[in-house]
Structure 1
Amino acid sequence: MSKQNSQESADAPADDPEARGLRLVVVLLGLTVVSGLIDAVSYLGLGHVFTANMTGNVVVLGFAAAGAPGFTVSHTLTSLVAFVVGAVAGGRMTVRLSGGSRRTWARVTLAAEAVLLGGSAAVAFAAPDATATVYALIALTAFAMGLRNATVRKLGVADLTTTVLTMTLTGLASDSRAGGGSGHHSPRRTASVLAMLAGAVLGAWLVIHHNLGIPLLIAAVGVGVLAVVASGRE
């Protein structure tokens, strides 16, 4: 009887709809790669502005306001406003969906992000040299990142914010064995840093050697795949 009960317990997760798909930890690491891609596109290709990392963007706004060459107040403000509006939309979506399936909630939000990034890729391919394209790409990608950040914040998966690494690096160092801690979360935090770095390297290479549409298309496809396979469990 005990063997039968143990077998039933082992099989239970497979019958749980929330458990079907890729764990959220892996999904969020994939999104962290996308963040590196997006900030490479925005900073290198859209006039030294961040659309995923708003901490850096506030600093960039200060540079632009002081008249530092290569920075534009209008670009930075567009990014900040679009990100905040996206976060508001993400908050409302969270209120609407969080009472139900966590899996559905994550997938719907990621699908929306994939559509926004796909739209930005289409704009980049259709009118790469138009002045309006820069503002459209900044607005679309920043809105997508705001939407995602609102969802990731509510999901509350430890050490995986997907867009900023300051506290991740702080935790990695202060909680390490060298810092007197146990180093328990070090693998996850290290993976997050490496994921962001990998996305930034890939994004920068694509922007330098190709055009903005290709990294944006890769980001859209990547998020779309994650939207299809995400589960509701950490």
Structure 2
Amino acid sequence: MASEDSPSPNEIDDPVYRQGMIELLGVLAYGEITACERLAEDAKMAPDLKTRAEIMAMEAAEFDHFAQLRDRLVELGEDPYEIMATFTDTFDRFHKQTAPADWLEGLVKAYVGDGLAADFYREIAAYLDAETRALVLETLSGTGHSEFVIDAVRGAIEDDPKVGGRLALWGRRLMGEALSQAQMVVAERDALSAVLVGGVDHPGMDLAGIGRMFTRLTEGHAARMEKLGLAA
């Protein structure tokens, strides 16, 4: 993933690039706000107060990321809520298909599902202007609670090894749904797709490059599953 071909400052005014950038900021912002809602629900299923507090801390970090993206859209003269509203159907489909059955599935979804999405958007960020790329990478930097999730999942598997098989299947399902969502987001957005494949008069990804990107996404998923003690 190289960023040397990212748009120069004078290209930022290109209407296709600008629209693609706004769409990316919008989908990220909506993803963060829905993550807050999801984690709030997950916290209610937590087995104890300490776990609930950890999940709520993750929720607070997600909201901070949302606020940064929202504020950037305002700076660009856009209504962030109008932009985000256009992604409602896509995210609703994903979350309906991946509703966790318990707090452990919620943690795996937060760690694995969000990690897959973050990897995908980092790939797109390579083709953004420097300022927007820095903001996107900052909001994809994680919530700082990965060790808590890893320890919680591994601890649950130690207590009941059967949990491992169920969560491994859950992780594979999340991967399939997340990749499907990523493809759908790009396919449904001409400007966002143009940024990824080079629609701003600079080289983007060809078909081979897109194939390599999805290989990297799969490898990243496998690494996260291994950290959780789950077979990918």
TM-score normalised by the chain length of structure 1: 0.35
**Max radius of gyration: which structure?**
1
Q: Which has the higher contact order (CA 8 A, sep 6+)?
A: 1
TM-score normalised by the chain length of structure 2: 0.36
